[in-house]
Amino acid sequence: MEHIPSTLSVAEIEIFADNLDPKRAAEIYREHGCLVIRGLMKPYIEAIGRDIEDAAKQSLALLPQAKQVPEGWVTPNGTLFLPAPANYDRDKQIMVLGIGYFTSAAFFHSAFDAALLDVVGAILGENIELFLNGQCLYKEPVGGHPKKLHQDSAYFEHKFEGPVGALNYVVETNLQNGALHVIPGSHRWGTLQHVDTFSHLGLDEAEWSWDRAVPICGDPGDTILFHVHTIHGSKENYSESPRPVFIHRYRRADDFVTISATTAANRAEAEKRADMVQKENQKGLMVRGYRPYVEEAR
C-alpha cells in the first residue's frame, strides 16, 4: 500500500465532455480508480438544482417531525440529518437529502445520459443496471458536515466489480465548500478496516490524513467517476451557500451486495452472512443491455 501523499495532478485523471473518448475514459478509470469528466452533466444542472433546493426547504420545514435513527434523524421526506455545529441556529444539519429517481424527473433523466453510459459501458460491459435510486449529499453553509475519507465498499461490498459511482457537482465546488478528495490507485487495495465516525463509517483519521488525497475542484456539471474501493471524502462547507452533489451508481446487471453496513458493529455481523447472499431481489432498473433469466440455488 502506498502510504504517501499522492503526487498525481488532476490533469492526469481529467477529460472533457465535448471531446469524450469512452475507451480512453475507461483506461484512466481502470488505472487510477477515478476519472473527472468536465461539463458532462451541465444540461441537467439547472433543473436538478431547483429540485434539490425545493427538497432542502421542505426537509427543514419537516424537521419537527424527524424521527431518530442510528445514523441521525430522518424527516418524513427521507432526508437524513446529523448534529449541527455549535454556531448553527438549529441543532441539526442536512446530510443526505431526500431526493432521487422517485422524486425528481430531472435527476432520473440524467442517469440515462448517453455519453455517461458509453463511459460506464466501456468500464462495466454491455449489461448495466442502476444501483440504488440516486443520492444527494448536501452540505449546509457555514460549517456543513464533512464526509470522512472512506471506501463505499465499507457500506456496500459487492460480489463482482461493484458499482461505478458518478458524483456530480451542482455548484462551483472548491477547497472552501467541500471539494471531493480521492486517493488515486486505492481501488487496488480491497476493502480496508473502517471505524465509526461522525459521518458514519470512515477510515481511521490517525492513519488516513487528508494530505494523502487529491482534491478535485470543479464547476456545476462536472462529474467524478470512482470505483467502489477508491478512498474518497470531502471536508466541511465553510462558504456562505449550500454545496450539494448528486450521485448515480451503476453496476453489472448480475452484480449484487454481499455486505451492507452503516456501522462497524453491523458490518461485522453482515460479514458473517456474506457467503449466503444471492442476487435474488436485488435487481435494479436496466439502463443498458439486457438481463437474461438466471436460476438461483435454493
Ligand X SMILES: O=C(O)CCC(=O)C(=O)O
| Residues lying near ligand X in the complex (CB under 6 A) | 137, 147, 152, 178, 180, 232-234, 245, 247
CB atoms within 10 A of CB 279: 15
Residues 6+ apart with CB under 8 A from 93: 81, 82, 83, 84, 85, 140, 143, 144, 145
Distances (CA, A) of 158 to 15, 248, 269: 28, 16, 16
**20 or 195, CB closer to ligand X?**
195
> Between 84 and 180, whose beta carbon lies closer to ligand X?
180
3-state secondary structure 251-262: EECCCCEEEECC
* Least distance between ligand X and beta carbon 295 (Å): 34
* C-alpha span between 156 and 258 (Å, rounded): 7
Cβ-based nearer residue to ligand X, 242 or 284: 242
Asked if residue 202 lies in contact with residue 239, where contact means CB atoms within 8 angstroms, the answer is: no
Nearer to ligand X, 98 or 233 (CB): 233
For the bound state, the minimum distance from the C-beta of residue 107 to ligand X, rounded and expressed in Å, comes to: 15
Q: How far is the CB of 246 from ligand X (least distance, A)?
A: 10
Rounded distance between C-alpha atoms, residue 164 and residue 261, angstroms: 18
> Is the Cβ of residue 20 or residue 192 nearer to ligand X in the bound state?
192
Nearer of residues 69 and 118 to ligand X, judged by Cβ: 69
CB 164 → ligand X: shortest distance, Å? 13
d(CA 196, CA 261): 11
The residue count for the chain: 298
Q: How far is the CB of 269 from ligand X (least distance, A)?
A: 22
Rounded CA-CA distance 49/196 in Å is: 31
205: how many CB neighbours lie within 10 A of its CB?
A: 12
Q: C-beta of 137: minimal distance to ligand X in Å?
A: 3
